[in-house]
Amino acid sequence: MRMVINGLISAIALSSLLASASVSQDNSNDTLFRSIYKELVEINTTESSGDTLIAANAMAKRMIDAGFPAADVQVLSSAPRKGNMVVRLRGNGAKKPMLLLAHMDVVEAKREDWAFDPFKLKESDGYFRARGALDDKAMASIFVTNLIRMRAEGLKPDRDIILALTTDEELANSPHDGARWLLENHRALIDAEFALNEGGGAKMRNGKPVSSNIQLAEKVYRSFQLEVKDPGGHSAQPRRDNAITRLAEGLVRIADYEFPARLNPVTGAYLQIITKLDAPEVRSALAALMAGDNRPEVIAPLSRRGNYNSQIRTTCVATMLEAGHAENAMAQTARATINCRLLPDENPDDVERGLKAAVKDEKIAVIPLGTIVDSPASPMSPEIIKAVEEISAELWPGIPVIPTQSGGYTDSRWLRKHGIPAYGVSGIFSEEGKSGVHGLNEQVGVKQLFEGKEYLYRLVRRLAGGG
């Protein structure tokens, strides 16, 4: 932007020019970003054939080359082909450090399934395309480049800014999950007052920004097995209470069962924004629930809509079935898997009790599976929300910032479990369902990626304080 008044640059305009020069994308930093992004994306970091240790070393070299003291750059590995990189930009220590988290591992991608080589960064018609182009090498490369930029600018923040690039986020419950492993083994290295991570996202529709999200909570994943044991018998002399029929009837009762609805600060704020243009019956159901009235008949307009229902209660659904040993015999065993998504502050024992009560059959055993990562919602920190809202308004005026609770999980669950509030933010807008994340031909808009880079630069600077 050029601000010339009567052929002269006024003092005010000059100072704002200088200010915008220091925060806008300067060309050399964009070039550096492209090179870091390309390098990181083109290192295969899949579980089957990739190597996050190579990626960790490459990013560590970038930090050292940029002048970070070697003592502040660590590569940590919990197993072969598993690498994490941690770097610290030192502040004046007035405040506790903040953590930037991004994972370097990516979901599998088979060359024969894709329209192009998933491990070559391809730029065409306004998009970058490759596996990891968005999830999560976009934020990883942005954090690396922005930290280099801040160091070059001589930033002395009020707190240390720690960046952790990690492995195994995409693998469910991997012991090598870098966020988890660092928290359990090297807590001091990444200990922080709060963290910024993926999971927030930003939505656009037909190329226009719709919302810039801040993720503050994730539902908690827990599966159960339902099991019926029975003597079985010849199918020519059937009994109605055979294992399969009993189980099926139990499953129907679970399908009809609703866990009690309630709101937390995140879902309350989210639903208030998202239902603004919705039917009056939805608005009044929400008002009732906010006032603490969760009677099923009152809140039915919310419960009937799947996207709202998943926000207001713990949900469970049958996902797998297994039964019988022969076509001409009644089953001796019948099993079903029930997958539940718990509200962040739900007691898992209550869910088990709820399922047993729903099943109403003592012959159907309800057995919890796996371990649970209890991850409470992050507090609605006014400092962080305000910064997100203001910087979002600078870049995308009029676009709402929406607090969200995700149905799925990210590494934020480990941070929250270990007492570090995590906030999912990215500023990288993408069309819903078109990013190819975890799927084919993953892509991110070039313009949107650079905007996200600028957004995260401004946000981290604001939250880190100092100058």
Using DSSP's 3-state secondary structure scheme, residue 163 falls into strand
Rounded to the nearest 10 degrees, how much is the dihedral formed by the CA atoms of 437, 442, 443, 444? 30
**Count of residues near Zn ion by CB under 5 A:** 2
Please choose, out of 73-81, 131-139, 152-160, 296-304, the segment that lies near Zn ion by the rule CB under 5 A. 131-139
Cis, bond preceding 136 (omega within 30 deg of 0): yes
Binding test (CB under 5 A) with Zn ion, winner from 42, 51, 135, 168: 135
In the complex, least distance from residue 209 CB atom to Zn ion, rounded to whole angstroms:
21
Q: Which CB atom, from 42 or from 136, has the smaller least distance to Zn ion?
A: 136
Placement of tokens 């391809």 in the chain:
122
Q: Which CB atom, from 314 or from 443, has the smaller least distance to Zn ion?
A: 443
Please choose, out of 129-137, 144-152, 276-284, 333-341, the segment that lies near Zn ion by the rule CB under 5 A. 129-137
- Burial class of residue 5 (count of CB atoms within 10 Å of its CB; 0-12, 13-18, 19+): exposed
According to the binding rule CB under 5 A, does residue 442 interact with Zn ion?
Answer: no
Please choose, out of 133-141, 155-163, 358-366, 452-460, the segment that lies near Zn ion by the rule CB under 5 A. 133-141
- What is the amino acid identity at position 343? L
According to the binding rule CB under 5 A, does residue 136 interact with Zn ion?
Answer: yes
In the complex, least distance from residue 378 CB atom to Zn ion, rounded to whole angstroms:
18
Q: Which CB atom, from 243 or from 437, has the smaller least distance to Zn ion?
A: 437
Please choose, out of 64-72, 130-138, 188-196, 202-210, the segment that lies near Zn ion by the rule CB under 5 A. 130-138
Please choose, out of 113-121, 127-135, 247-255, 363-371, the segment that lies near Zn ion by the rule CB under 5 A. 127-135
- What is the amino acid identity at position 371? T
Q: Which CB atom, from 101 or from 261, has the smaller least distance to Zn ion?
A: 101
Cα-only R_g, the chain:
25
Q: At what angle are helices 27-42 and 52-65 packed, to 10 degrees?
A: 160
Ranges within 148-177 binding Zn ion (CB under 5 A): none
Which among 253, 220, 218, 238 has a CA at the least distance from the CA of 366? 253
* Alpha carbons 371 and 419: distance in angstroms, whole number: 19
- Give the count of alpha carbons within 13 A of 396, CB side only: 23
Ranges within 282-341 binding Zn ion (CB under 5 A): none
Which among 464, 463, 467, 435 has a CA at the least distance from the CA of 135? 435
The H-assigned helical ranges of 257-405 are 265-274, 280-290, 296-303, 306-312, 348-359, 382-395
In the complex, least distance from residue 199 CB atom to Zn ion, rounded to whole angstroms:
8
In the complex, least distance from residue 107 CB atom to Zn ion, rounded to whole angstroms:
9
Q: Which CB atom, from 264 or from 412, has the smaller least distance to Zn ion?
A: 412
The residue ranges that bind Zn ion (CB under 5 A) are: 135-136
